[in-house]
Amino acid sequence: MNNGQPLKHRGVTVEDLLRLRSVRDPHYASDGMHGVFVQKSIDEEKQYCSHLYIWTEDGAVRQWTFGRWRDTRPRFSPDSKTIAFLSDRSGHTQLWLLPADGGEARQLTFFKNGVRDYVWAPDGTFLIALTTLGDNETIDDREEPKKKETKPADLKPRVVERLYYKSDASGFLDGKQAVLVCIDATSGKTEALTSREEEISSFAISPNGRTLAFVANRNEDPDTTFTRDIVLLDLESKAETNLTKGSGTFTSLAWSPDGTKLAAIGHDLAFLGATIHQLYVFEPERGTKRVLTADWDVHLGDAMVGDTHADAKGPGPIWKRDGTGLYVTASQRGRVNVYFVPLDGPIVPIIEGDFHVYGLAIHPNEQQAVAAISEPTMIGDLYTISLESGTKTRLTRVNEALENEVTFADAEPFTYQSTDGWDIQGWIMKPPRLGDGEKAPLVVEIHGGPHTMYGFTFFHEFQLLASSGYVVLFTNPRGSHGYGQSFVNAVRGDYGGMDYEDIMAGVDAAIKQFAFIDETRLGVTGGSYGGFMTNWIVGHTNRFRAAVTQRSISNWLSFAGVSDIGYFFTKWEVGCDVWEDAERLWHHSPLKYVKNVRTPLLILHSEHDYRCPIEQAEQLFIALKQLGQETKLVRFPDANHDLSRTGNPALRLERLRQIVGWFDHYLKGPRD
């Protein structure tokens, strides 16, 4: 498992989380002579910060911005002389400009609610930014200092009239709507380009600078209709054309070099939230639409689950310079790799291997690329890659000190059959210091989603468990991405059915295949859907000596009305609304089976989780306590559904200590 290499000095610890560095979002200048990327880290005060770094053609890397703030999404101007980026250094995330040869950054926007995203105009004279406006707010309203506390006299009731009124990512929406704004790059003068939109998720300017394409929710009832249309806006006349007219949901727009075609990632909602993403190409002038990946049963984009690069925004489709096709990332069998999709002809792998590509930039000469790559034993770095030979050269070594100090456990893939004969992929991580002939307890990890994917990427939590003496098993049961449309759709309407069988068959297969597993000491954990499945497992088997459920679902009947997505997700995934078939929802609810639970269960939940609200944990905890079962509820303040990935670092540390401590007590303590 360690490729015959001697063990280094120590294993992974909880505190190593604070030392992880994530390099992401590489971007070439148009001259190809240099590029820029972002490095995210945690500072000495346990706060996230991110800075811009420059690399040059000779491989030299220099830090370009400093300070205790978050600088993100850097993009060179078309003439390569200026770097635009987003930063919260003013208190809100705004758009800043920085000379590419060095100097002071200049704040370009001062919007009251900050900037969410932006693009350069092809001639570099202006930028288009996405902001939000509340009732009675305008683009001329300036940002205000963030209030540290609310005085009693300032308290007001929140009046809710919309079905969709809160978001796990944004909290209460309070009527804010999206607006695209044109900003002069020199003067900062602004002009609103769109009226208030319910939602804008992607936008791109045509190469001639005349047309803005953007994705918007143009439905009459935006809360209950889930198509997202591509709208074309003539920047001179302000005339709009709806290109897709409710035919699907789209994102990641990219104009062809000659401006005649518009690419997008999207799908037609044929399998609702379980529909795999495909590559579309539109020709607006001709009124045509093609799905280039219609015969490729692969999910486009990055479906990987991890805790180090989870918020890294991967690339959308990238056009080849001659307009004959596009470079895309795709998720397949636990890998996220890069492919070339031609307008006519077979799809070709470009950057392929057992790893996770979570960032990509193609050099203007298209002979090489820079990719952000992670592997189970390699935290993540940038590599220059020849697109002709495939040769990889490491550009950064941001985690080298830590990687040289600790011993990581490798993740060994294996395939097994479920109870109905379906092939399921899984991975085993063996404790690095486990001696020959020794056995170790097993912890089963179950991912969320469920329409996501485990695979070949670095996972600090898994490494921590392995270093703590646990064998770690993680699998992709049906419902996961990476194995085609039928596979990802198979869990819908069957939560706790064959997905449960897939996971338990994985436990059996691992015990049979790997002699170092102590089958008398089994643990299980997971978050979100993985939390649902952990709750389901302990209500249906007593094989596990300990379990940790995180940000979980326990009761579909109440989840439907309290989750930010519950009102549609419940029907999409389980198959009905509360008033249609309450018995069906109760049948799929782990709370129904709480009387069967004999496994000590640790319940971890964030108090501001609007995706799986904390009442789901409270119901389960109270029922277990009433029944006299071993349980503990740990509530994390000021944290949402993403605690384990992007939450407060101090709370992330405590979360990990709780997990390891629970398993240590019940799996390493004396047997009953």
Give the CA angle between residues 84, 90, 95 to the nearest 5°. 20
Instruction: Find the helix packing angle between 649-667 and 460-467, rounded to 10°.
Output: 40
Tokens of 603: 């319940």
Q: What is the 3-state secondary structure (H, E, C) of 195-217?
A: CCECCEEEEEECCCCCEEEEEEC
SS3 250: strand
Residue written as token pair 């439907």 = 560
Alpha-carbon gap, residue 25 to 40, rounded angstroms: 11
Alpha-carbon gap, residue 412 to 376, rounded angstroms: 10
Instruction: Find the helix packing angle between 498-513 and 529-540, rounded to 10°.
Output: 80
Alpha-carbon gap, residue 410 to 77, rounded angstroms: 41
Q: Long-range pairs for 50-59 at CB < 8 Å and ≥24 separation?
A: 52/83, 52/85, 52/98, 53/23, 53/396, 55/370, 55/382, 55/395, 55/396, 57/32, 57/33, 59/384, 59/393, 59/395
> The sheet that has 249-255: what strands, in order across it?
249-255, 262-267, 278-283, 288-291
Q: Is 528 a catalytic residue?
A: yes
Contacts of 650 (CB under 8 A, 6+ apart): 46
Q: Which of 468, 528, 552, 644 is catalytic?
A: 528
SS3 317: coil
Which phi and psi (to 5°) does residue 618 adopt? -65, -40
Q: Whose CA is closest to 538, among 495, 602, 452, 604? A: 602
C-alpha count within 13 angstroms, C-beta hemisphere, residue 161: 2
Tokens of 664: 């240590």
Q: Is 9 a catalytic residue?
A: no
**DSSP state letters, 55-90:** EETTS-EEE---SSSBEEEEEE-TTSSEEEEEE-TT
Tokens of 14: 């909880």
User: With left for phi above 0 and alpha for psi between -120 and 50, is residue 321 left, alpha or beta?
Assistant: alpha
Encoded amino acid at 235, one letter = L
Contacts of 110 (CB under 8 A, 6+ apart): 90, 94, 142, 143
Strand ranges for 318-422 from DSSP E: 318-319, 325-332, 335-342, 348-351, 356-362, 368-375, 378-386, 392-394, 411-417
Tokens of 339: 């492919």
Q: Tell me: cis bond preceding 284? Omega within 30 of 0 counts.
A: no
Catalytic residue set: 528, 641
